[in-house]
Amino acid sequence: MEIGREEVFGPVISLYRYDDLEEVVALANDSDYGLAASIWTNDLAAMHRLASRLSSGVVWGNCHGGLDVSMPFGGFKQSGLGREGGSDGIHAYLETKSVMIQL
């Protein structure tokens, strides 16, 4: 469905039935966007396995929308332009230079 493939901003939730985690990963990653995802479960190990496979810049577990300034925030694919927050956000404003001198 379009709502599952577009980047929707607002108080919206889309719920899907699934048979296994492979189907969940396929449905979640079938989008040109990847800003954020939420996983709601009682199985913490399954949540970690699923979070690592989602093409999303941030994954919340049993919550949604909480951010900490020490954590980088930004999306994958066509969501966002890099990272904000944390040391990753600072790197966007830096330019690394290497200098090697043989004496």
State how far the Cα of 42 lies from the Cα of 54, in Å rounded to an integer.
18
* pLDDT, one tens digit for every residue, the chain (103 residues): 677 777 777 777 778 888 988 998 998 899 898 888 999 999 999 999 999 999 999 999 999 888 888 888 888 888 877 778 788 778 878 888 787 888 8
Q: Which residue in the block uniquely carries the two structure tokens 């919206």?
A: 12
Residues 6+ apart with CB under 8 A from 54: 25, 28, 29, 34, 37
Which pTM was predicted?
0.73
Output helix, strand, coil percentages for the chain, rounded to the nearest 5: 30, 15, 60
Domains detected in the chain: 2-91 (3.40.309.10)
